[in-house]
Amino acid sequence: MKEILIGKLLEYIRDNNPDILFDLEAKDKLRVWLYDKVSTAGPLIKQLKNSSRPEYIIVETCLQEITKELRPSRYNYILNILETEFENDYKQLLQSGLLQHEVINMIYYCNSTFDDLVFAEENENNQFIRYATIGTVSEYLESNRVNEPVSNELQQSAET
């Protein structure tokens, strides 16, 4: 059962929290984190097994519990804002293959906004948080437009 939960948790963070996934992989701590997270569900697994619930119900209930602190997904929130409010940038990033990487960068850029406004499941539909995040994403996109790397051809022509 724990191996099933580990697989489901990995799938969950891959889809909803790739920023956490990349951070854990970079630190070579993914496996330990997954096992630690799933081990916190041990008492719940035992309790649910004693109540004769089907395995799939136990797995889903435990997954909901161990992913509680990972919700709402800042990744999906910013991805949605990018897609709806900055459609051209979204399409450009999607075509370039940099969408996931840039959304992860935007999460780090927006973290203080999320933390200051206490972004949580209870208020993820709050318009003030949405507008503040749109402003921060816009700032991020503008700062990257100004600091776009110069192509090699331009650098070479400047050297001659």
| Domain ranges (residues) in the chain | 2-70, 74-146
pTM of the entire predicted model: 0.85
Give the C-alpha separation, 41 to 46, whole Å.
9
Per-residue model confidence as pLDDT tens digits over 17-59: 999 999 999 999 999 999 999 999 999 999 988 888 899 999 9
| CA separation, residue 140 to residues 91, 98, 146, 153, 160 (Å) | 16, 15, 10, 26, 33
Give the C-alpha separation, 104 to 146, whole Å.
20
Give the C-alpha separation, 154 to 121, whole Å.
47
Per-residue model confidence as pLDDT tens digits over 121-144: 999 999 999 999 999 999 999 999
Q: Are 117 and 128 in contact (CB under 8 A)?
A: yes
DSSP state letter for 79: H
Give the C-alpha separation, 57 to 106, whole Å.
35
